[in-house]
Structure 1
């Protein structure tokens, strides 16, 4: 809300436009002296008085409070909804543009909640575009400038996004510190769904920095916390996070069991389209943990692909399904089918974050190598090198460089392969 003097000024302006005197506006519920004090900013009107004055003046309460007409507020809310929809559909560049446009010119200055929603949305869209440094700046700015106006849930949402951005940017110390500032200490806060999600972000940061024992211990604590919260979403979040840690620690049977529980629980409580997306992630875990189940994973992904084609889903969802289908077919030795799927991935990858594009070109390089198409394999792996050139030195980046090195070695490119090995080692400070 803007200052009360601005509220008073708006009341005075509209009163004069309507041709009312202070006494006419006040009668019979209020005194003209009270209206005078409000207009001069010397009295703060109660919500009930503001509502009464809006009715008498024939204007919206929103306008008196914020200086925004009902029509303008409707336009702002609609623009926010379109931006949010674009982000959820994976149209990240469009979402980023829409949020930025909303924030231009100060039109949201008197609407703190809507301004906060737009700033938070812009940070998420910027992160999705791969501009992690800028996303971190936006999130920290939101924390700094709007902290006193934030609901507790938004505080947690911002912490989740910051933890994730710091981790993906390679600043694991700051990632852990951000989450532990809320979750750390001898006494844990009362667990909520949001805090369980923050816990999964912390778990990922522990795993990324190689602190796998701490990750496993905290994962057990997080599962217990999710059971206390008692909601399906909290349980799915905790089960899935611990499944990923189990993969990292090579507890493959346990990873599959945890993923099975998460998928079963999610299937009971979520829409079919959301379950389809989780099945894609499930197939990824199973392909790593139990390569012998590649045929089963391939069949599952074929069914998911058909569902995604029928529904209105984002390009990213389709891309990830095609990516894992290509991986499954490659593992099964069906190279031509893998080639068909990876071409679909590359066609969808242009507007995706750099890390996903790097993974897509890397898998394409593997497929080309298996097909004996040397020049195409080199071209795809060169694209990987360009995309990873400025990537943060995380374990994931190291894994991508290592895989690229192995493929280059396989296609008899020793010089390029040696360089990729060096870059992989540099990511883990060796």
Structure 2
């Protein structure tokens, strides 16, 4: 709301333009003396008073309070919806310039809610492009604009920041952000189902990567229980996609595939291409686990092509690690090695987990060729990268591979050290390095 003097001048101008006296404007709810005091800028009008006067003057509360015609904010919100649709169904590189223009317009008009929405869109665009520092900056700026809003309104930027840190290999910090928000929502009686499903679904991936499988399963159970109270179909689909990971971890592949089928059907209906690509990726993973390598290759190639077309670099890198493993198991090791070689440079940027996975697979292939020294080098490189990211579950498996290799080559003490390191990284059921698990929703 503008200063009282500015509002008073605006009311006086509009009243004069419409040929109304102060008494005619004031009645029946106010007095002409109140209108005189308001027009002189000596009183700050309440929202109730301004809404009454706006009705008498044939204008909007927003225009009377800020001087900004209401249609400008409406048009901006419609344009933001169009940009969101472009991002979901088109290309982040096309959506980002739209969001930047809309952010500038929202700043010019002083519309904080629309500024936050544009920043969230820019954050999502940066996530797809693998520009993680930019993504974090956009989500932090959006969260700052929403600082005075209830926590459910801040769930999206918090989740966005967490995903960016997760993709950067900062698993523990991603967990911390999500767990803190979940605890605050539940402890404060703000158990908004959509916000909680968004956060529970997001925390599954870092839990699994850290080896905290029981915690991931608990988050999945809570998300599934809340799903019937969620109206947004895309949010429900995203939950099913993440819950499928917990089913896979538990060896429940049929249930995982059923969850993925539900998600895929929604994404196809809504034409959400990046999310649909993730479903192809996970279904390929399920098929690989079941030994159907030919079908797995087809699904993973579809996912990689869809993500590459969207310039979703880090997501495409994750798929390529899975695809390379399928190619290795099909006996096409040269193709797998060529695919993995392009991922090694990610270790110097924000893809430490993916580069670590590439080194692990290259080590396995070197072992299969009988090249123990090369295998050891790749395992050690993978170990360094995964330790940096905190991927506890992967580290434990990698230490086992390294220990087995060292033992076979007669280096028993070094093998024992590797096994001990692996045991140190194997998380106990339901725990992380972060302390107690986040609270469950309060029962009502």
State the alpha-carbon separation in 1 of the partners of residues 253 and 232 from structure 2: 19
Pick one of 358, 372, 380 that aligns with 2:317: 358
Equivalent residue, structure 1, for 2:385: 427
Change (3 A) 1:12 1:410: farther
- Tell me, yes or no, if the aligned pair for 1:240 and 1:259 is still in contact at 8 Å: no
2:211 is aligned with 1:210 = yes
Equivalent residue, structure 1, for 2:254: 256
Equivalent residue, structure 2, for 1:153: 152
- Tell me, yes or no, if the aligned pair for 1:176 and 1:205 is still in contact at 8 Å: yes
User: 1:72 offset after TM fit, Å?
Assistant: 2.5
2:24 is aligned with 1:10 = no
Pick one of 359, 381, 395 that aligns with 1:401: 359
User: 1:244 offset after TM fit, Å?
Assistant: 0.7
Q: Partner of 2:211: helix, strand, or coil?
A: coil
- Tell me, yes or no, if the aligned pair for 1:232 and 1:266 is still in contact at 8 Å: no
2:195 is aligned with 1:197 = no
Structure 1 gap segments, 5+ residues each = 299-323, 328-340
- Tell me, yes or no, if the aligned pair for 1:200 and 1:241 is still in contact at 8 Å: yes
State the alpha-carbon separation in 2 of the partners of residues 210 and 62 from structure 1: 52
State the alpha-carbon separation in 1 of the partners of residues 344 and 384 from structure 2: 14
Equivalent residue, structure 2, for 1:390: 349
Equivalent residue, structure 2, for 1:182: 181
Number of residue pairs matched?
381
Change (3 A) 1:78 1:411: farther
Q: Partner of 1:175: helix, strand, or coil?
A: helix
2:323 is aligned with 1:325 = no
- Tell me, yes or no, if the aligned pair for 1:119 and 1:142 is still in contact at 8 Å: yes
User: 1:40 offset after TM fit, Å?
Assistant: 4.2
Q: Deviations over 1:321-340 (max 9, x none)?
A: xxx5264xxxxxxxxxxxxx
- Tell me, yes or no, if the aligned pair for 2:344 and 2:355 is still in contact at 8 Å: no
User: 1:202 offset after TM fit, Å?
Assistant: 1.9
Higher RCO, 1 vs 2 (CA within 8 Å, ≥6 residues apart): 2
Change (3 A) 1:417 1:152: same
Q: Partner of 1:139: helix, strand, or coil?
A: helix
Equivalent residue, structure 1, for 2:85: 85
Equivalent residue, structure 2, for 1:306: none
User: 1:179 offset after TM fit, Å?
Assistant: 1.8
State the alpha-carbon separation in 2 of the partners of residues 44 and 58 from structure 1: 21
State the alpha-carbon separation in 1 of the partners of residues 169 and 341 from structure 2: 23
Change (3 A) 1:75 1:237: closer
User: 1:290 offset after TM fit, Å?
Assistant: 0.8
- Tell me, yes or no, if the aligned pair for 1:108 and 1:114 is still in contact at 8 Å: no
Change (3 A) 1:8 1:174: farther
State the alpha-carbon separation in 2 of the partners of residues 256 and 206 from structure 1: 22
Q: Deviations over 1:401-430 (max 9, x none)?
A: 323555678899999877654432212228
Q: TM-score, normalised by structure 2?
A: 0.68
Change (3 A) 1:11 1:129: farther
- Tell me, yes or no, if the aligned pair for 2:146 and 2:154 is still in contact at 8 Å: no
Structure 2 gap segments, 5+ residues each = 388-394, 396-444
Change (3 A) 1:85 1:187: closer
Q: Partner of 1:68: helix, strand, or coil?
A: coil
Change (3 A) 1:181 1:51: same
Q: Partner of 2:68: helix, strand, or coil?
A: coil
User: 1:367 offset after TM fit, Å?
Assistant: 9.5
User: 1:173 offset after TM fit, Å?
Assistant: 2.3
Equivalent residue, structure 2, for 1:303: none
Equivalent residue, structure 2, for 1:226: 226
Q: TM-score, normalised by structure 1?
A: 0.70
Equivalent residue, structure 2, for 1:289: 289
Equivalent residue, structure 2, for 1:135: 135
